[in-house]
A and B are shown apart, each in its own frame.
Chain A
Amino acid sequence: MMSTHTTTTAGASPATVRPVGGKASPRRRSARAERRLRPRTLALAAVAWLLAITFLLPYVEMVITALRPAGELRDATYLPDEFVWSNFVNVWRDSNLADNLKVSLLVAGGSTVLVLLVALPAAYYTARIRFRGRKLFLLLVLVTQMFQPTSLLVGLYRQFYQLDMLNSVWTLILCNAAFNLAFAVWILTAYIGSIPVQLEEAAMIDGLSRFGALLRVTLPLAMPGVVTAVVFTFIAAWNEFVMGLTLSTLPESQPLTVGINNFIGNYSVQWNYLFAASVIAIVPVIVLFAFIERHVVSGLTAGSVK
């Protein structure tokens, strides 16, 4: 979607892609600000810290509940008398968590690889060459971005039911890849478009093939974009819920999110198990997000705003 923007408004808007560069000046400013703390700065910091804590509270409560002894679960206290690990041990033993974890890893990993294999060539070609049907292709990508799996659930279910592919990891890989493809194409097109084509040409004059130039010149320069696309895809697939819920009906073939939802019964909810499983599920995401935090803003700048 945004790719239409990116390429066509590039000249008109003052905004330009700043893949990694434009970091120096804010940092310099922040150093200056920290040297003299004016009341206004302090007030800003106080509000920001308060908000940050508020944003983390639901997840803190999640961890607290996961560490609550079963006997204290329904006590109306802020903190339990003691913290125990037994919920983690029990949930691992008594549920399909290990299977769910495996499915989630396969689905998130598989769809990320597939997205990269499919999106990278498409984004490169679209960014570099004005071919016939280019506009149509970008429109198709845009439309995919807008059609979310939720609105197509019944169609997806019927399709994979008829293909006899329900409860298959491959189905979930295909679906997650397809619905995350648009974002990857969009962000990669923006990144590759911002890399001067002369660099490639120079490499080609020096004897590299176009493919060689792509691999050895363009790809390394587009790495921040590639990393952003990879991490976003992985996290989106890892957190995906509705397709897993609809396309996998057997407990052992469901991804982690659906497994977590299974702790919510019709009449009772196993809260301590539920949150122990959630804590396990959230760890890889925190690691990945910590890894790309600084790419998030530049990634969004490249993709959406121009």
Chain B
Amino acid sequence: MTTSPATETTTADEPRRSSRSSRPVRRSRGKVGRERVNRPATALLAVGSLAVLVPLFVTVNMSLKTTAQAVDGNAFSIPSPFTLSSFVEAWNLTNFPRGFAVSIFITAIAVVGEIVISALAAFAIVRNWDRRAFRWSFFYLLAAMFIPFPVVALPQIQLTGMLGLDNPLGVAILHIAFALAFNTMLFTAFLRTIPLELEESMRMDGAGTWGVFWRLILPLLAPMCATVGIFAFIQSWNDFMMPSLIISDPDLQTIPVLQNMFQTQFSNNYNIAFASYLMAMAPAVIVYLFAQRWVMSGLTQGAVK
């Protein structure tokens, strides 16, 4: 790490002082503005970021255009006149608030359900690994990873229909069931790293299994819960196939399925479609922005002193 770029940053004395004192101890502070810029890597990253930014720009750009301008074949031209009418139309056509509420309902149940049920299963399996029934049930769950939804779609449609679950609740339950295998695997792997001593000390103080789980294990599993939660959120929020097949009441359909009407073989409504996609994307982007920090920091946390 050479010193040359330090001069071009704003403060000359402050970073030097802090770096001198902090470098041997902690690396996190005082580095700002002191690192050498890795220009080739930065250039590569800048080009790479275009892969995200260009489509995003087109999406925002198109959503602000009028229909006539949206079909003129120039995706990059600046909208003139600016119009928000696409948002209004998308809002009305999809009955956005209702679809949005249904999507949130499914997603909330799926996220909470996947975390709690998979964590419970993993806890039971890991702590009873010496018993055959639990071991085998773990393998049984893992085997389910090899069955994708489309394969069993038809029987699922019939089953949910028979049980009266051909509604968003049924979709949420199916999400929980189909993700159970993968999530339980994640949780068991993580649970094995939590020492049994922690649990034993808690039991000595009189806690039962239930108390141990809720007050010790689940908090310790927080980083993994964040990971599972993010996967659950993205999968259930963006899912198209399951709600389109399972939900029988059109008034209770989710946003991705409703948006399907914007693009068909015979017609395109680019401006309205993009406006609608942007509105549907917003929660996913916001959740990701907040939750990714937990995952990043959470995965490096240890349970042992």
A binds B: no
Residue positions of B touching A, CB distance < 8 A: none
